[in-house]
Amino acid sequence: MMKAIINAKIYTEDKVIHNGYIEFNDKIVAIGEGEYSGEAETIDAHGNMLLPGFIDIHIHGGYGADAMDATHESLDMLTQGLLKEGTTSFLPTTMTESIPRVTNALESIATFESQGAEILGIHLEGPFISEHKVGAQDPKFVIRPTTTLINQLQQAAHNNIKIITIAPEVEGALDVIQHFDDIIFSAGHTTATFDELNNAQSKGLKHITHLYNAATPFTHRAPGAFGAAWLNDNLTTECIIDGVHSHPAAVDIAYRLKGRDRFIVITDAMRAKGLGDGVSELGGQQVYVNGNEARLKDGTLAGSVLKMNEGLKHFMQYTGESMEHAWRVMSYNQAVALKVDDRIGSIKVGKQADFVLLNEEFNVLCTVKRGYNIYNK
């Protein structure tokens, strides 16, 4: 059934359409400016902003669910909840836990058919990380990578592993980075030096996991992982923009250095997102949520409770970027990295009908997924 969103401020790939309309079924059929005269069922945007649906490539959970629960019921809770924040596609992200538990989670995700936000694949965060930079991961499950083990995990995931967070300096890391062309290897939870990270990029490393967290910092004599992330144009860089994980100025610096095409907003959210303050869980460890912070008992940050629409608001506040360009760090750059930009990540005729309608306060008024799953506030 054809539908149309009318009276919208539409951010397309190449321009902003004021007082525009967009006609769609499961895909975008037409985009225009001015009064809509078609016969489709209409949704009045009342002049609010229409953006492509957000894509979160690093998220453990939210709304009471976690990818490591390894149940379809939990995944359904998460995929439905994400529509409330404008996220239409995502990569459920696993934790550094036992291989049997990780395998169960991979199999559950791979066999789940979402009726909410679309699962584009899986982000494997660990267990191939540094025991010296575990963050909120459990160090007893840290192991070294091998091609055999990654093949086993990929088989359990039905070839749906798209990103693996890895410490490129650990034994075996460079071997697997060079071996798998179909996986995005991302440096994170790492003690890699500036030179080690750049060398890993030359071997096939493509991405940086949650910049500024659980990696070697920048100093003027040892630029570290952060310096390599800033300066290496072949590395895309994700960042948790909740005002807790990184200072606003640090976000601004990263964006200025990475540019519009290589910067990606993520949430790294955990189970407690959307549930308010209280005690929650991440990777088998208790997490205490207070306001916009989620921490282990010892004070270590344990993911976030950030929503993508809030991440966009913070990003624009911290960088001063306009919406004309800001939407790209929420969807387009992710789609390009995952090689799905032919069908999602921007508003263009022929692409999938994935939208989010925001007001000036960045509140989600409506989310459309594949044209038929419509969340209205």
Catalytic (active-site) positions: 268
Q: Which amino acid is located at 49 in the chain?
A: M
Q: Is the dihedral of CA 344, 345, 351, 353 positive or negative?
A: positive
Q: CB-based contacts of 243: which residues, under 8 Å, 6+ apart?
A: 292, 314
Residue 299: how many other CB atoms lie within 10 Å: 9
DSSP structure class, residue 291? T
Please check whether residue 28 is in contact with residue 40, taking contact to mean a CB–CB distance below 8 angstroms.
no
Local structure of 52: helix, strand or coil: strand
Please check whether residue 237 is in contact with residue 209, taking contact to mean a CB–CB distance below 8 angstroms.
no
Please check whether residue 134 is in contact with residue 88, taking contact to mean a CB–CB distance below 8 angstroms.
no
DSSP per-residue codes, 323-366: HHHHGGGGTHHHHHHTT-TTTSSS--TTSB--EEEE-TT--EEE
CB burial of residue 182 (10 Å; 0-12, 13-18, 19+): exposed
Q: How far apart are CA 9 and CA 295, in angstroms?
A: 39
CB burial of residue 1 (10 Å; 0-12, 13-18, 19+): exposed
C-alpha distances in angstroms, 1 versus 27, 40, 343, 354? 11, 8, 20, 15
